[in-house]
Structure formats: C-alpha cells, structure tokens
C-alpha cells in the first residue's frame, strides 16, 4: 500500500506548500508548525517509497500502522484545506460587506483561525512523531532494493497505452461441458425440490473465488432465453445481506412496477413477490451467495412457491450454502488443467500478431509456464496476470522478475480486519497485478469498492468523483486523463466494461479493493476511521443511522440514493464537514437546507433524479464545487448566487423539464466543461435573467449543449447580433437549438410568434462550431437553413413549419430526421445519407435520389407521390401516405418492407425485389 500512502503524502505536502505560498499573510502564527509538518511529511515520503512491496510481507501490526498513518495524513489535509476554504470565504465576505464593524469582526475571526490552525497542526505533528517511533522506520530506510534499485515487480509500463485489448465475456476455455450440463438441468421439466414447498427447484454452481462461476452463470442465463423468455432475473446477494434489503432487491428485479416503495413490511414484500412468481415459470439467478441465514422462513417459502418448472440458480464459494438452501443439483467447478490455463494465458498475454513462437524465440516460454502454474488454475487470476504480462517487454529479465516475485508466497494475515474472504491461491496473483499498477491507478482502482458488488458504475460519475478526490494527475484536461485511466484498468482486466457508459468490478476484485482500502471504506455503517461511506442499495438504513451519525465526522464521501433514508443524513449535514463527494441522488425533499453552505470542501454534489425545486442562497459558499448534477431533477430555478461557483466544471441540466429560470451570471463560470442545458430567460422581478450572450466566454464547453427559449424572449434577439456565440466552442459535438416554448409553458402568444418569424437569420448568426457532428433544431421559424452548415453527421429538424428550402451541400450527413415541416416540398440528394425518417410533412412532394440510404421511414406525408431510386435500401417503412402511387422499382438490397394505409399505391415493385422477404 506504499504507493497509495505515498500519493496521500504527496497530496498533503502539496496542500501545505500551497497554503504557505498563497496565504502567507494569514498563517503568521502557524507558519513554524506548518513548516515542521512539511519537513516530517517529506521524511515519511522517503521512507515509504517501497512500502507497497514491504507491506505484503509485514505483520498485521505494521498494516495497522499504515492505516494509522493514512488517518493522520487525511486529517492533516482536511485541516489545511478547511483553513484555506475559511480564508477564501472570509475574503469574499469582506468584499461583500466593507463596514468597520465587519472589518473588525473579520480581523478577530482571522486571529482565531490562525490560533486554531497552529494548535491543530501541532497535534498532527505529535501524532506523526509517535508513528515514527512506533513504526520501524529505521529498518525501512536501511532496506536496499534488491535489483539495482528497481522494484522486482514494477516494469517500465512502456506498453501501457497500447490499443485496448481484453478477453471480454465469451465462454472461458474448458467450460463448454459445464455449460451443457447446467443448461440441460435448467431446461429439464423434472421437479426435484428437496423442500417440497412449491414448483421451483434450486441448482448451484460452487467453486473458489475467481474460478469462473459468475461468468459461466451469465453464459447460461443468455443460453436459456428461449425456455424462460423475459422471466429471467439476476440478483447479486453478496455477504451477510439484510433480509428486507434483499427482498426489495428481488422485488425490484421481478416486479417492474414496484418502483421505489421502501415502506412495505417484509411480509408485504413477500406477498407481492409470491403473486408475481406464481404466474408462470421463471429463472432467478442469485449470484455470489455467502451464507444462508437470510434464506430461512419467509424468503425461502416465497421463492420456492413459484410456478412449476421454475429454477433458482445460485453461485457460491461455499458447499454448505448449496446444501443449506436445498439445491437438488450442485455443480462444482474445477480448476483449469495446465493446457487450458496455458491457452487462456496466451490469449491474454500476447499482443496482436504475436504467437507462442515469439515466447520460444525470446527464450521465455518456460518462464511463462512457471507463471501460469503459480496461478493455480483459476481463470480470473490467469487472465489478469496474462493482461499484466501483455504490458511487459518480451525479455527474460522482465518475465523472470514476475516469476520470482515473493508476492506469490504471500498469504492474508490471519488477524486481517477486512471482512472479505480473499485468501488462498487467488490472492497472490491479484496482488501481483495490483502491485504492478502505476501509482496513479492504484488509488483509482481501490476507490471503486465504494460501490456495492455487482453495481454498474456510471463512467462519467466515477471520473468526476476521482477528480473531486484529487486522484487524477493535474493537467490541461483531467477528464481525458481519467478516461485513459479507465481504459488502462479495462486493458488489465481489473475492471469490466459493461458498455460505453458503465463499468463494474468482478466480485473477487471488489474483495481485493476492499481489502486494500481496509477500514477507510464503509458500507451502511462507519467507524472513526471511515473516510468513504456508501448507503447505496441500503433500504433499511434506520438500523445503522445512529452509529453512522456518531462516527461519520471524518467522512469524505457519502453516496446515497432514494432508498437510503436520506432525510436522516440531510438533517445532519453539518456532521459531514470534510465531505468532498456528496451524492443525494433521488432525494425526496423540495429544497436543500441552508446548512449545505457549511460543506466548504465539497467538490461533487449529485442531486439528479431528485425532487429538489430550488437551491438555497448559501450555495455560493461552496466555492470548491466542481460538479453540480441536477439531471432529471424537478429543479425550477437557479439562484443568482450561482455565478460565485467559479470552480464549477460540470453543470448537469439534462431533462430538467421544470426549469424556468436561470439568473444572470452563468457566463462568469468560465471553467465549465459541460453544460447540458441553457435556458434564455426574462427577468424575474428584481433578479435579471440569463441572456444568450453569456455563452460567449464559455469556450471550454465540450460534448452536448442544449439551448432553449431562443425566440421566447427579447433577450435572445437583442444579444445575438454578430456575437459568434458558438463558433469558438470547438469541443461541442452535439447541439440542440429550441426556438420555441420551453416544456411546460403555455402556447406562445401571437406577438411572440410574429416576432419569432422576423428572425430567420438567427441560426446563421449563432454560427455553430465547425467540428459539430449532431444538430437538432426545434420550432425554427425561418424559411431556410444556413447554406454554410458544419459537416454534420446527424441532423434532426422538428416542428419547423415555415422551413421551405434545404441546404444543397451536406456531403457528410449520415442520419436525418424531419418531423412536422409542413412547408418543405423537397429533400435534395445527400450522397452519404444512410438513415432517413420523414414524418408529418404535409407539403413534401419529392425525395431526390439517395444512393447510400439503407433505412427509410416515411409517415403521414399526404402529398408525396413517388419515391426516388435507392439502390442501397435495406429497410423500408411507408404508412399513411395517401397520395403515394409508386415505390422505387429497383431495391436489390431490401431486407425488410412494411407498407400500410397507402390507398393510392397501385402496384408494388417487381417481385424479385421483395418476394424473398416472404420466403
């Protein structure tokens, strides 16, 4: 864990150094103590350079000292950052109120700050001195690296940025027979329940951690789709589940209409579930089951009472779990043979174009075989170690250093405080791969264990939390760097990519991360050492709240959702003054308490999917805030104090349908990288509304941008002119322009509509950036689109009923949708267009030749008489086109055809075009 601690030490040194530089006038009385702290930290930094390696062989008491050192480092950083924040808040308050009384008050407050800082830093230094004496630092300093100063495990990481390669979710080598046997058992109609409590029967897959139980279960889950259809559900159980929590988790998976009702009793939940399961047969996978206490009584009776032929498939590391739950068949997975292990290793370790002969040529095939034997036949370990070897040079020196690593001999200390069971053959290989990570990836990997097992982590959310905790190396684009970190971890098979937007940890790797993180991470409960607390998926948090509130005064992360009794924690926000990351996703309250302003260190605040309608004025105190996520919330207005959040990088306003007012000043947030929604507003009483000219300075924006109210108010008209508001925003790739009413408003008045029609040039004056890929236009009143459009790939035009002319030059356009454009008479040839949807265009008379179109849908275009030739067309859907007389004659590539309610259509194309679709 040395690299993790080293990173903490470096962060603490930087924090202290910055305080000494930036606020020297405010720390006079604490200056000597801060310098002493800086000196001690640098001594520790030298002493723990090899701590990652040494900690594997140290006693449990040394591990405890490492945790104690981390506690002190966190406390030091909290104190210094908290002091800096108070100084900044004091400066702003002095600017706001310049009276003599305020000046005197601020003076005495500053003196008090300095005195408190000096005392706290003295205590930190005393704690560090004690650790220095208790810990055998002298021996560590005298330890000479064994291989010329190079870590015997860490390589040069020359190949870390190689193109992504990972094995994926295909069936592991050697498991075909296991899959066949289990599919037959699940497909069988034999009723073999030992409990005789109903129509369901249990089958189990049992084996060591990392042997491939979950991977095999996923393959089987997909294989039996024909037998069970949509009545297949997957629930991750994990260690010591709370009965009610687990029952709600199963109900949520099975009963889609259950929603977020967490107030039901266990009996009510069982009744609801029993009703659903009795309808027809089902497959329920209970993954990663550790014990059977939760299974007794109501839950067992409910699940086993399913319809005849139903199956429950469980995976577990413990045979007694299978026996205790009454499985009629237990399938015990065996370790891979050497041949199977070697094949899997080669698949993971060899780069594109390499073969086993390359290992022979470099005389490392024997070394590779020895490494594989050390993996104990466990597929997860083989795959992860293989991916690690893929980053190494094909040199005997590099490969032999892995083979000879002492980590292979390491075992979990018997007195480990970790609640995970990750010992045995699996731990050394995983630890070896973790230890091989560059220092900057280690903390990022460990942080992932804050999420529950089997939790699908949103990639963007994880990145913003990493940034908030300072886990990403500072640079021009920390988000791009964080994305690269994720790719590196995927490449090493340490995290699993679900899709482009989400990832998750394998159960065993979650155990590994939680073991390394130790008492720093808490799920549902806390100790005085907890720094990161997750309440995600905890529906019965009432039992834990008192313990949590009493011991959570040092928590830096609090993740909760709508099922976590959020109200309890929101009422005690002042208990969490060191928070950097606060997620209140789905909270049910209308307004946050003013006490949110006391969380001076918060950098990430998630209120997405919440019922919060407004933010308190005290929000301005959160000057460290980088992320404010209001996506899918009920937010109605953003206060005028928002402009003081000058460190804000992400403001999530996606699908905030109730948002009516944004106060003037958004343009001052020049660090914004993402702004999902921008609403042009009229003034609200004495508070000025946001005008479109505020976009001009926000040139760091990236990704998607939506602008609403472009014609609704005079402000949009008055401030556009020749401002080139969008031209320099080269990071924007998707733009939505709404020239009409915002959702939820009444229809526009005649004056507004007539005013809007006079500004057909507004779109051209906005000047979308040249790199734009997607453009959506709503309620545009102009008669034509600009001739000089960016080289778009996608264009949607909706409810633009005055639009008559289409740009002639759109060579890169591939996807287009046109909806309710009644004045449009023709669509010109677009040579690269692949997909076209045209609906409710009453004036459309002609579609020109589209040589590349593969998918065409035309609906309710009453004047359209013919369709031009489209030789690449594969899918054609035409309906409610009353004047259509003829379809294209030649459609050689057609694979799908649907024609409905086209009364004037006299004949279909030649039979050779469509007869094969019926055959």
Q: Residue 282 corresponds to which tokens in the numbers above?
A: 């089902």
Q: How confident is the model at residue 692 (pLDDT cuts 50, 70, 90)?
A: confident
- Rounded Cα distance between 167 and 344, Å, is 9
| pLDDT at residue 383 tops 70 | yes
Return the higher-pLDDT residue of 883 and 10.
883
- Rounded Cα distance between 801 and 825, Å, is 11
Query: In this predicted structure, what is the pLDDT of residue 269?
Result: 73
In order of 170, 172, 173, 210, 579, the CA distances from 176 in angstroms are 11, 8, 8, 17, 49
Question: Per mean pLDDT, which of 134-143, 264-273, 349-358 is the most reliable?
Answer: 349-358
| pLDDT at residue 343 tops 70 | yes
Query: Which residue stretches of 350-506 are H helix?
Result: 356-361, 365-374, 379-390, 396-403, 426-435, 439-447, 459-468, 478-491
Query: In this predicted structure, what is the pLDDT of residue 878?
Result: 94
Return the higher-pLDDT residue of 464 and 525.
464
Q: Which of 828, 877, 826 is nearest to 854 (CA)?
A: 877
Q: Is the dihedral of CA 439, 486, 625, 521 positive or negative?
A: negative
- Rounded Cα distance between 483 and 574, Å, is 33
| pLDDT at residue 546 tops 90 | no
Enter the DSSP assignment of 459: H
pLDDT tens per residue, range 201-257:
999 999 999 999 999 999 999 999 999 998 999 999 877 677 777 877 888 788 764
Q: Are strands 310-316 and 329-332 parallel, antiparallel or unpaired?
A: unpaired
Query: In this predicted structure, what is the pLDDT of residue 11?
Result: 82
Query: In this predicted structure, what is the pLDDT of residue 760?
Result: 67
Q: Are 342 and 375 in contact (CB under 8 A)?
A: no
Which helix (DSSP H) or strand (DSSP E) does residue 182 occupy?
helix 176-187
Q: Is the dihedral of CA 370, 375, 381, 382 positive or negative?
A: positive
- Rounded Cα distance between 783 and 51, Å, is 70
- Rounded Cα distance between 680 and 678, Å, is 7
Q: Which of 279, 185, 288 is nearest to 229 (CA)?
A: 279
In order of 322, 700, 791, the CA distances from 308 in angstroms are 21, 60, 59
Query: In this predicted structure, what is the pLDDT of residue 578?
Result: 95
Return the higher-pLDDT residue of 26 and 263.
26
pLDDT tens per residue, range 81-133:
988 888 777 776 665 555 444 544 554 455 566 678 888 999 999 998 888 78
Query: In this predicted structure, what is the pLDDT of residue 744?
Result: 43
pLDDT tens per residue, range 626-683:
999 999 999 999 999 999 999 999 999 999 999 999 999 999 999 999 998 999 888 8
Residue with tokens 């008192």: 546
Q: How confident is the model at residue 26 (pLDDT cuts 50, 70, 90)?
A: low
Return the higher-pLDDT residue of 784 and 521.
521
| pLDDT at residue 625 tops 80 | yes
Residue with tokens 């990403």: 472
Query: In this predicted structure, what is the pLDDT of residue 849?
Result: 85
Query: In this predicted structure, what is the pLDDT of residue 553?
Result: 86
What average pLDDT score do residues 488-516 get? Answer: 94
What average pLDDT score do residues 436-449 get? Answer: 94
| Edge-to-edge strand ranges of the sheet holding 604-606 | 521-523, 532-534, 557-560, 581-584, 604-606, 627-629, 650-652, 674-675
- Rounded Cα distance between 246 and 253, Å, is 11
Query: In this predicted structure, what is the pLDDT of residue 789?
Result: 85
pLDDT tens per residue, range 735-786:
999 987 544 444 444 454 554 455 566 777 788 898 999 999 999 888 888 8
Q: How confident is the model at residue 2 (pLDDT cuts 50, 70, 90)?
A: low
pLDDT tens per residue, range 812-868:
999 999 999 999 999 988 999 999 999 999 999 988 888 999 999 999 999 999 888
Q: Which of 542, 627, 553, 621 is nearest to 584 (CA)?
A: 627
Return the higher-pLDDT residue of 56 and 394.
394
Q: Are 594 and 571 in contact (CB under 8 A)?
A: no
What average pLDDT score do residues 874-899 get? Answer: 90
Which range has the worst mean pLDDT, 311-325, 330-344, 544-558, 741-755? 741-755
Query: In this predicted structure, what is the pLDDT of residue 742?
Result: 45
pLDDT tens per residue, range 559-602:
988 765 677 778 788 889 999 999 999 888 899 999 999 999 99
| pLDDT at residue 286 tops 90 | yes
Question: Per mean pLDDT, which of 291-305, 382-396, 778-792 is the most reliable?
Answer: 382-396
Phi, psi dihedral angles at 774 (to 5 degrees): -130, 135
pLDDT tens per residue, range 470-481:
999 877 789 999
Q: How confident is the model at residue 721 (pLDDT cuts 50, 70, 90)?
A: low
Q: Residue 373 corresponds to which tokens in the numbers above?
A: 């034997």
pLDDT tens per residue, range 796-814:
999 998 898 888 788 999 9
Return the higher-pLDDT residue of 839 and 12.
839
Phi, psi dihedral angles at 686 (to 5 degrees): -85, -10
């Amino acid at each position: 864990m040395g690299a993790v601690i080293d990173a903490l030490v470096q962060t603490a040194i930087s924090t202290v150094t910055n305080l000494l530089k930036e606020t020297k006038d405010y720390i006079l009385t604490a200056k000597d103590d801060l310098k002493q702290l800086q000196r001690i930290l640098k001594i520790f930094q030298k002493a723990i350079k090899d701590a990652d390696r040494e900690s594997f062989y140290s006693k449990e008491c040394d591990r405890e000292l490492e945790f104690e050192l981390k506690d002190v480092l966190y406390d030091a950083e909290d104190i210094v950052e908290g002091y800096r924040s108070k100084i900044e808040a004091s400066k702003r308050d002095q600017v706001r109120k310049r009276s003599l009384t305020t000046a005197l008050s601020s003076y005495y407050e500053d003196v008090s700050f300095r005195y408190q800082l000096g005392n706290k830093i003295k205590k930190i230094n005393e704690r560090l001195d004690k650790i220095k004496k208790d810990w055998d630092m002298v021996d560590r300093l005298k330890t000479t690296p064994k291989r010329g100063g190079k870590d015997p495990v860490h390589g040069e990481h020359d190949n870390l940025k190689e193109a992504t390669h990972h094995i994926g979710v295909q069936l592991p080598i050697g498991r075909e027979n296991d899959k066949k046997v289990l599919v037959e058992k699940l497909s069988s109609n034999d009723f073999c329940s030992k409990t005789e409590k109903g129509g369901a029967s249990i089958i189990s897959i049992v084996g060591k951690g990392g042997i491939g139980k979950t991977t095999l279960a996923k393959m089987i889950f997909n294989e039996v789709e024909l037998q069970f259809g949509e009545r297949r559900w997957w629930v991750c159980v994990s260690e010591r589940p709370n009965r009610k929590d687990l029952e709600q988790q199963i109900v949520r998976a099975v009963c889609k209409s259950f929603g977020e009702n967490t107030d039901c009793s266990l009996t009510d939940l069982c009744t609801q579930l029993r009703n659903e399961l009795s309808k027809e047969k089902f497959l329920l996978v209970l993954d990663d089951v550790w014990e059977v206490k939760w299974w007794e009584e109501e839950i067992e009776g409910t699940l086993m009472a399913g319809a005849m032929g139903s199956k429950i498939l469980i995976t577990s590391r413990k045979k007694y779990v299978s026996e205790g739950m009454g499985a009629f068949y237990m399938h015990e997975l065996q370790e891979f043979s050497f041949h199977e292990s070697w094949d899997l290793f080669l698949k993971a370790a060899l780069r594109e174009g390499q073969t086993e002969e390359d290992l022979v040529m470099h005389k490392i095939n024997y070394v590779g075989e020895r490494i594989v034997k050390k993996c104990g036949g466990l597929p997860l370990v083989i795959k992860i170690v293989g991916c690690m070897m893929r980053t190494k040079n094909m040199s005997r020196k590099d490969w032999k250093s892995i083979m000879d690593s002492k980590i292979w001999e390491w075992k979990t200390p018997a007195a480990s405080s970790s609640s995970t069971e990750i010992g045995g053959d699996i731990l050394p290989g995983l630890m070896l791969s973790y230890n091989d990570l560059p220092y900057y990836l280690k903390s990022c990997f460990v942080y992932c264990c804050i999420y529950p097992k089997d939790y699908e982590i949103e990639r963007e959310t994880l990145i913003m939390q990493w940034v908030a905790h300072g886990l990403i190396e500072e640079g021009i684009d920390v988000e791009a760097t964080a994305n690269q970190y994720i790719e590196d971890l995927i490449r090493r098979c340490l995290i699993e990519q679900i899709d482009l937007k989400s990832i998750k940890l394998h159960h065993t790797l979650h155990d590994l991360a939680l073991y390394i993180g130790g008492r720093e991470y808490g799920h549902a409960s806390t100790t005085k050492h907890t720094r990161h607390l997750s309440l995600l998926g905890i529906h019965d948090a009432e039992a834990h709240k008192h313990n949590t509130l009493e011991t959570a005064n040092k928590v830096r992360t609090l993740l909760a959702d709508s099922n976590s009794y959020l109200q309890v924690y929101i009422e005690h926000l002042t208990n969490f003054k060191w928070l950097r990351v606060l997620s209140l996703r789905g909270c049910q309250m209308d307004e946050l308490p003013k006490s949110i302003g006391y969380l001076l260190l918060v950098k990430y605040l998630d209120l997405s999917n919440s019922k919060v309608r407004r933010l308190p004025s005290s929000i301005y105190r959160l000057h460290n805030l980088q992320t404010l996520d209001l996506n899918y919330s009920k937010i109605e207005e953003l206060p005028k104090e928002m402009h003081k959040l000058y460190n804000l990088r992400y403001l999530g306003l996606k699908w905030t349908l109730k948002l009516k007012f944004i106060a003037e000043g958004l343009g001052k947030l020049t660090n914004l990288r993402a702004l999902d929604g921008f609403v042009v507003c009229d003034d609200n009483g004495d508070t000025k509304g946001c005008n479109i000219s505020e976009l001009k300075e926000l040139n760091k924006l990236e990704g998607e941008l939506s602008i609403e109210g472009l014609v609704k108010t005079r402000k949009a008209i008055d401030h556009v002119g020749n401002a080139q508001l969008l031209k320099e925003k080269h990071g924007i790739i998707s733009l939505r322009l709404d020239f009409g009413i915002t959702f939820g408003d009444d229809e526009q008045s005649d004056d507004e509509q007539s005013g809007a029609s006079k500004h057909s040039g507004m779109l051209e004056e906005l000047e979308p950036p040249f790199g734009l890929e997607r453009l959506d236009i709503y309620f545009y009143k102009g008669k034509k689109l600009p001739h000089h459009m960016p080289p778009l790939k996608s264009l949607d035009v909706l409810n633009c009923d005055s639009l008559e002319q289409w740009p002639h030059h759109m060579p890169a356009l591939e996807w287009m949708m046109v909806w309710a454009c009644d004045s449009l008479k023709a669509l010109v040839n677009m040579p690269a267009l692949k997909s076209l949807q045209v609906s409710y265009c009453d004036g459309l008379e002609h579609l020109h030749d589209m040589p590349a179109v593969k998918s065409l849908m035309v609906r309710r275009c009453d004047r359209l008489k013919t369709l031009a030739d489209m030789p690449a067309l594969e899918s054609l859907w035409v309906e409610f086109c009353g004047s259509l007389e003829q379809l294209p004659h030649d459609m050689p590539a057609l694979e799908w055809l649907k024609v409905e309610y086209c009364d004037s259509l006299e004949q279909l194309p030649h039979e050779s075009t469509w007869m094969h679709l019926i055959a």
